């Protein structure tokens, strides 16, 4: 299957030249690249979250393959869906799925199911791709979409990813696609988001899950982030850094109902 770009022209520019220019505005080629195991990156329209995503990926030495985990906003497909064949299209070209790694992850997991339906209209993975393509034209991906479930499911999927990465010997970066608090005041959103971010920085997936539940934090990609943290820890993660945090209010000037965006790297 060739998965067509579905939010080009809406979340980001729909032509190659315009998209290239937009990414150049949000990224820096003169910053040192770091060896990174995991990343948290936002997935809103580039006008709002592009600077956070671009600043974060500018710090990352993009590997041959990126496993990208996104939340399921559409409600379609299986709860834990992985694509193992085909390619994804953006205005910058096609991104091939790393079938060998994807199949190994699928075989390792009790919960993942091969499924394309969950991915067709889901934007959370697609908006990450142009940044990856900008820094590594021949990057491959493994796309995984997660719906709401129990934390044990997310952690098992993370462990399955780490095991497959070791078994295949792939040079891999694991990306969790997530926005933070949705449509609360700047003060409320930032307060809640910093508590969730601290759990990520502590590499404590259980604390993240509990804070999301107890504080009613509307972080849409907490499931992908839990899986990413578990995988990163299994792959030897030791250091974390909040690269950048901002809200939609920092762009629009309206701080009454904002969405939060965080860029985190795990080394």
Please state the domain extents for the chain.
2-266
Residue-level pLDDT at 106: 98
Enter the CATH code of domain 2-266.
3.40.830.10
Confirm if 264 and 219 have CB atoms less than 8 A apart.
Answer: no
Q: Is the pTM of this model over 0.85?
A: yes
Residue-level pLDDT at 20: 97
- pLDDT beneath 50, residues of the chain: none
Residue range 2-30, pLDDT digits in tens: 999 999 999 999 999 999 999 999 999 89
Residue-level pLDDT at 262: 98
């Amino acid at each position: 299957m060739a998965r067509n770009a579905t939010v080009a022209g809406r979340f980001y520019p729909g032509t190659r030249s315009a998209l290239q220019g937009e990414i150049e505005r949000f990224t820096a080629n003169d910053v040192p690249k770091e060896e990174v195991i995991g990343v948290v990156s936002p997935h809103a329209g580039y006008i709002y979250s592009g600077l956070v995503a671009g600043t974060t990926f500018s710090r990352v030495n993009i590997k041959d393959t990126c496993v990208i985990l996104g939340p399921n906003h559409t409600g379609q497909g299986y709860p834990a869906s992985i694509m193992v064949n085909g390619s994804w299209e953006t205005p910058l070209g096609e991104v091939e799925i790393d079938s060998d790694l994807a199949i190994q992850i699928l075989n390792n997991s009790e919960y993942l199911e091969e499924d394309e339906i969950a991915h067709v209209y889901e934007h959370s993975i697609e908006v990450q791709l142009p940044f990856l393509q900008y820094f590594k034209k021949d990057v491959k991906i493994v796309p995984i979409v997660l719906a709401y479930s129990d934390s044990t499911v997310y952690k098992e999927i993370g462990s399955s990813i780490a095991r497959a990465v070791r078994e295949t010997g792939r040079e891999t970066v694991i990306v969790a696609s997530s926005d933070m608090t949705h449509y609360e005041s700047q003060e409320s959103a930032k307060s809640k988001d910093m508590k969730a971010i601290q759990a990520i920085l502590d590499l404590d997936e259980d604390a993240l899950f509990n804070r999301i539940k107890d504080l009613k934090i509307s972080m849409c990609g907490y499931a992908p982030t839990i899986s990413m943290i578990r995988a990163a820890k299994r792959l030897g993660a030791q250091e974390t850094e909040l690269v950048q945090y901002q809200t939609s209010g920092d762009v629009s000037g309206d701080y009454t109902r904002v969405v939060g965006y965080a860029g985190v790297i795990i080394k």
